[in-house]
Amino acid sequence: MRYDVAVVGLGAMGSAAAYHASARGATVIGYEAGERAHPYASSGGLSRIIRLAYFEHPSYVPLLRRAWDLWRDLERATGRTLLHATGGLYTGPADGELVSGARRSARAHGLAHEMLDADGIRARFPALAVDDGWVGLYEEQAGWLAPERAIDAHLAAAERHGAVLRFGERAALDGVAADRVVVTAGAWTGRHVPRLAPHLRVERVPLFWFEPAREVGPLPVWIMDTADGAYYGFPPDEHGLKVARHGDGDATDPDRLDRSHRPADEARIRAFLRRHLPAGDGPLRSSHVCMYTRTPDGHFVIDREGDRLVYASACSGHGFKFASVVGEILADLALGGVTRHDIAFLSASRLSGYRERDAAV
C-alpha cells in the first residue's frame, strides 16, 4: 500500500513524528536501522535534561513550554513515567554564556527563577563546589527525561494509532511508498539530505556514572560553565551519579564510532569532579558513548525540501528534550505544509552563510 507519511529514523524525533502523524489519522510507516528504542545513536544514556531558561537562545522557550506539556500528555496517554521534575541550576561566571543566556531567556519569557550567589549555591547544594564570584540561576521547572523509555512510549502510542513500524531495516528515500517522507536519521541525516551533509559534524561524546565517594545531598539537574567548558549532571539514582562534558567531542563516522572506554575521557571528568563535585569522585560504575550531530551555529535544523521531504536533525547535542514538540511540528509540516510553531530560526537556509565542513573523518 501507499502511506500518507513515511518516517526514516525512529529515535527521539522520528518516534514522536510517527505518533503525532498517526494520531491525526494519517497512515504512517516508519523505518529504523537499529532495534526498537536502542541506545546506540544520539539518545542513549538513561537520562536527558529538560530545562526552560534556555541559554542557547530565547526563541527555544515557547517550544520548550509546549514540549513539557506534551511529555506530560504522553505520560497520561501511556501510563508511563517519563519526566522527573527536580529543578535546575545553571552556574558559572555572571557574564558567561551559560548564566547570562539563561537569565536572558528567563526574563524575555517571564519564567519563574531565582538568582543565587556563590554562598547561596553552597548553602542550598553543599555538594557543588562553585568558584568564588560565580552566580547561578535556579528554576523549579526543570528535570530529566528517560530517553529510551520515552522513545518506546512514542513508538507504542504510534502503533496503537495504526502506524506500521519496521526495525532493523534501512530505507532509501526513492524506494519509500509514501506521499510525504520525514527524515529524522540523526547522525545519518546527511546521507538522506545531501544539502545538509557539508554543514554537519558528528562527534563522539562519552557519558559516565560514578558511585559517590560520600553522601551527595540534595541535587537538581545542573550545568556548570568552567574554564574547561560546560559540564552537566543529574541527581544520583540506582545507576549512580551521571556526569558528562558538553561539547567538543572527537569527530567521527557514525558507522565507525569508537564505543570503548577511554581512560583519558574518564580522567577529564574526574578532574572536574575533584574540583567541583568531590563527593561524586568515587568508583566508576559504567560509561556510555553517544553522538552529537552539530551545525556550525549549534542550533537545530527543521525544514522542508520540495513537496515531499521534511526533516529535523542536527540537534547539536541539546535536542532530546524537544522531541515531543518536534514530532508535532513534523506532523504539521508533513500533513499540512505549515506549523503554528515559530521555527524560522531553525531553517536550513541559514547554513548557506557558513563555510562547509566535513560531516565525518
- pLDDT band, very low/low/confident/very high, at 314 (cuts 50, 70, 90): confident
Q: Is the dihedral of CA 211, 212, 213, 215 positive or negative?
A: negative
Q: What is the pLDDT averaged over residues 277-289?
A: 98
Q: What mean pLDDT do residues 160-179 have?
A: 96
How confident is the model over 85-105, as pLDDT tens digits?
999 999 999 999 999 999 999
- The span from the first CA to the last CA of the chain, in angstroms, equals 40
Please state, in angstroms and rounded to a whole number, the distance separating the CA atoms of residues 94 and 128.
Answer: 17
Q: What is the CA radius of gyration of the chain?
A: 20
Report the alpha-carbon distance of residue 189 to residue 166 in Å, rounded: 18
Q: Residue 358: pLDDT band by 50, 70, 90 thresholds?
A: very low
For residue 70, which phi and psi values (nearest 5 degrees)?
A: -70, -35
Q: Give the helix ranges, DSSP H, for 252-322.
A: 263-276
Q: Which pLDDT score, from 0 to 100, does residue 310 have?
A: 98
Range with the lowest mean pLDDT among 116-120, 171-175, 271-275, 343-347? 171-175
pLDDT, position 352? 87
Which residue carries 544514556 as its cell?
A: 45
Confidence class of residue 356 from pLDDT cuts 50, 70 and 90? low
DSSP codes of every residue in 163-231: -EEEES----GGG--EEEEEE--GGGHHHHSTTTGGG-EEEEEEEEEE--SS------EEEEEETTEEE
| Residue 359 pLDDT greater than 90, yes or no | no
Residue 135: the pLDDT is: 98
Q: Which pLDDT score is estimated for 212?
A: 98
When pLDDT is cut at 50, 70 and 90, the band that residue 355 belongs to is: low
- Would the pLDDT of 248 be above 90? no
Give the model confidence (pLDDT) of 3-15 as tens digits. Answer: 999 999 999 999 9
pLDDT interval class at 170 (50, 70, 90):
very high
Global confidence as pTM: 0.96
